[in-house]
Structure 1
């Protein structure tokens, strides 16, 4: 991973210079005195508003498919520079503006559902940046503010990933750092710690840029040449300290070991493909099942001919069978026959009816060649407005598109740790990979599995972003991750985040590899959610402290 990112340091340097230039623009904004700003008189103005937009766009480009990962640092730095010294309410507005500029492009894949759904969700997500912007504006008045500002990002992601309807933790800062020197921090404190370190580097760049501006002003105020030397030294020292601290954080990640040794297990991932992309793939249920049966038969033929080693387990994606194999004899027969042909357990993604027929379960079923369907996992985090409808009676009258969700998906009640032959797997389904708890709950397994169906969002940024999340999860938990998608992107990810295999979209694909099955736990596994909550509490405490100090200063003026 180090070799992947080192050539990009020049891009970081250029972006840092751009952040410093942007700070010049922000400093040039006509503003009132510091006392007036503390009393709430500061306004955003067009220059700061445009800088907030630039911040959001920089952060977007750090995510797949652009993958310009160094831009996350100037993106964060620009937002912090924009918020520095502003009143809380102005910070909230600037935070929202940056959020809109970020979430609209990063969630562009949702346009396949509808432009209204895409833009509405982007706007809702941007709202979470408003309290974060207010908080950062407050804490930049405190000593050591880059630390408190970085904690604010963690607090924002904690809330956004939980509220409402279980939250939507897509596009966290950590998910932009899945093949960089910061990635190994995931094994120490999970995705929240990677977010913290990423935001801290950006905050240090902002701190350095502000130090440069202050020193330049002091030099400009010097009446003769005797003052310029000390002013130049005053410029260099804080900038050097900030850059050294940022470099230490980045370099420190390279020193964290990411072990890959483990018991070798041969695995296979099947991507059967769908007949057509888009929202109507569900109408092609039998064709999708047949595609996965056909690809598995091809795998069995390759094994018999000696082209590939016989796998010990096979993984099918989510929605590989939208025909309930428990009640549809044709689906049962087709699956059972091909599992017997390959001769090893197959994890089958299937939609099944609940016993009362009122709801649907999104299952990963362990199908054994001797005994048929056995243990299974039911998706615990169904997608609101996609797999179940809050306020169904009202929304179905207003939006006809919701007629495509005639029944709600039931919630699973237990983790997806299951036995497949001689190996323990931990299954999560689709966007559950974005949730810390759901993945942490199955991290005790030897291999992790992500079953997904991205046919609706094909050829957008969302499948690539989901793979990026899987890469971070592999490092976080020190586990091989098998990503099986109906139409792509499927992948086999090593415990250190390396891509062992990766499919293209909308083509059948068969991936076979020998991977390490591991049982050791990472520090992140042992710490659980503690680092995230600790950093969020730190952010809240810093904001309260800053607000109290501001109130005292206002009273004294």
Structure 2
């Protein structure tokens, strides 16, 4: 049985990979979860651990190829192996929960939630990329995210996979074949997927005319920033001045706000010696377009350690508000285990540890018509961090903005996976999202998760459109933080009840480590 279980787990990992953007076969997320459920039902803990690990390798290794674009193969492989340890633990837990041989879809789904929660917070703050819910941007299941959040959406995906596994088990197990129950489980999985189509996705709200600028990078630009400093800032100021000319000519609508991506200013506007020159160039573009400009920049703020910032500038006034990124990306914006990491890549010491912010990512932007709009900010990978986006909504954000670069990750699927996460967040919180990237993929996203005016990778583009502002709170804002604790309680209760039942029946065999 062992080779069959491991082969099934490997196929499950491939199915999970194919479910995500780049391949866009979202139903395969359920298939992948179901494959691991079948591979671990009745298996030993050791087999479950190995099955989960192989699933994780087959899933994450090709998914994370973009991590080695500049850093090389060793960091990419290390990241993939470390990430695969979490599905490995999941496989061992599923083996314990399914020791009797029957797939247990509810408990299995709860175990998936715990695995994803662990990845989201450990180690070094976590890296919740590739969660099940982020594979469902084009799925009927997406509607449910406004009720139960991304953790709950992942639970539903895993539950659907568990029901598929029950159906297959009932139909194909020679000793327990049951056509009626098998078909019933498959029908339940289909109903679970389709039911969220009934959840409304309102898109009404006062319109905000947005202009989002994607400047692209010069051909000689690399992660070492070999382009002349100020090159990127020149691109964004030029494109914004061009927009001002089009507005004056009547060929473009007047923008309420102009948005530039992460790192759009490659000169530090807050630096005591060079900042005034950068500020003059920024404010010149702001005054020309006569609209607030919200942009990304890295600044040392007169000290030695850098901060990843979003700055808002007002016409005729200059710098108004500043947001400092709170949830820094491990190994990208700070380097854990630096002495060890030096053996994996020569890039390690080129990464300076950033200083995290402490305030929620919201800025108030006064508009020309007298209104003030509150923007919720999630810089780059912060969009996949639940508290980052949820806290902004709780602080009154009417529109979410995800400024990102993506320039370090080449032409793989990272950018497509990134904007898909923003689409899921739009539905989860009932907010429009502006996902604006240096190199793409950028897009204006309405609260129903639909992308308008999307761009291609490595192109210059200007996105213009009216997005609805919304302030209503979705149930997910309240319920999603409870999904993981309830899942943990369910798993613990399942393990305890299983032990008590076996003791009553006098069948408490030792936990098998091999089979």
Asked if Structure 1 and Structure 2 have the same fold, meaning a TM-score greater than 0.5 normalized by the shorter chain, the answer is yes
1:116 and 1:378 mapped to 2: Cα distance?
31
Report the Cα distance in structure 2 between the residues aligned to 1:520 and 1:526, rounded to whole angstroms. Answer: 12
TM-score by length of 1: 0.85
Deviates more, 1:134-143 or 1:300-309: 134-143
Q: Of residues 508, 511, 515 in structure 2, which corresponds to 1:554?
A: 508
Shift of 1:47: 2.0
CA distance in 2, matches of 1:371, 1:87: 67
SS of residue in 1 equivalent to 2:121: coil
Name the structure 1 match of 2:292: 345
Whole-Å separation in 2 of the counterparts to 1:178 and 1:528: 18
| 2:477 maps to 1:525 | yes
Q: How far apart, in 2, do the equivalents of 1:482 and 1:370 lie?
A: 25
Alignment of 1:449-468 (within 5 A): 449-468=401-420
Structure 1 residue corresponding to 2:331, chosen from 385, 389, 400? 385
Residue 396 of structure 1, CA deviation: 5.0
- Kindly state the Cα deviation for residue 454 of structure 1 after the two structures are TM-superposed: 0.4
Provide, for residues 516-542 of structure 1, a one-character-per-residue CA deviation record: whole Å limited to 9, x for no partner. Answer: 000000000122411232123322332
- 1:420-469 deviations in whole A, cap 9, x for unaligned? 12211001100011111111011231100001010111311111100110
Matched residues in 2 for 1:428 and 1:192: separation?
18
2:365 is the counterpart of 1:415? no
Give the drift of 1:138: 1.9
TM-score (norm 2): 0.92
Q: 1:296 aligned to 2:240?
A: yes
Greater Cα offset, 528-537 or 517-526: 528-537
Mean alpha-carbon deviation: is it higher for 284-293 or for 396-405?
396-405
- Would you say 1:287 and 2:231 are equivalent positions? yes
Which residue matches 1:539?
491
8 A contact 1:278–1:458 mirrored in 2? no
Q: What secondary structure sits across from 1:302 in the alignment? A: helix
Is 1:366 paired with 2:312?
yes
> Pick from 112, 124, 134: which aligns with 2:82?
124
Residues 120 and 491 of structure 1: CA distance in aligned 2, closer, same or farther (over 3 Å): same
Output aligned runs, 1:46-195, within 5 Å.
46-112=3-69, 113-141=71-99, 145-195=104-154
Distance in 2, Cα, partners of 1:95 & 1:532: 20
Native 8 Å contact 2:382 2:389 kept in 1: yes
1:476-528 deviations in Å (ceiling 9; x for gaps): 00000001111111111110100112111111110010110000000001224
1:494 to 436, 439, 446: 446
How far residue 140 of structure 1 moved from its aligned partner, in angstroms, is 2.3
Q: 1:542/1:217 Cα in 2 relative to 1: closer, same or farther (>3 Å)? A: closer
Segments of 5+ residues of structure 2 without an aligned counterpart are 367-371
Residue 331 of structure 1 pairs with residue 278 of structure 2:
yes
| Deviation per residue, 1:86-133 (Å, 9 max, x gap) | 012211111111111110011111120211111100000000111110
Give the match for residue 472 of structure 1. 424
Confirm whether residue 322 of structure 1 aligns to residue 266 of structure 2: yes
What's the offset of the Cα at 1:278?
A: 4.0
Give the stretch that moved more between structures: 530-539 or 512-521.
Answer: 530-539
**Of residues 514, 537, 554 in structure 1, which corresponds to 2:466?**
514
Instruction: Note the alpha carbon deviations across 1:160-212, whole angstroms, 9 max, x for none.
Output: 10011110101011111012110011100100111011111110010011111
Return closer, same or farther for 1:385/1:473 CA change in 2, 3 Å cut-off.
Answer: same
Larger helix proportion, structure 1 or 2?
A: 1
Aligned residues: 496
In structure 2, the CA distance between the partners of 1:546 and 1:117, relative to structure 1 (3 Å rule), is farther
Q: Which position in structure 2 is the counterpart of 1:376?
A: 322
What is the deviation of 1:320? 0.4
Cα distance in 2 for residues equivalent to 1:257 and 1:238: 32
Hey, what's the Cα distance between the residues in 2 that align with 1:537 and 1:107? 32
Q: How does 1:212-227 map to 2 (within 5 A)?
A: 212-214=171-173, 216-217=174-175
Structure 1 gap ranges (5+): 1-28, 30-44, 219-233
RMSD (Å) for aligned C-alpha atoms? 2.0
Question: Counterpart in 2 of 1:42?
Answer: none
Give 3-state SS (helix, strand or coil) of 1:257's partner: coil
Deviations 1:247-270 (A, max 9, x none): 221121111111111111101111
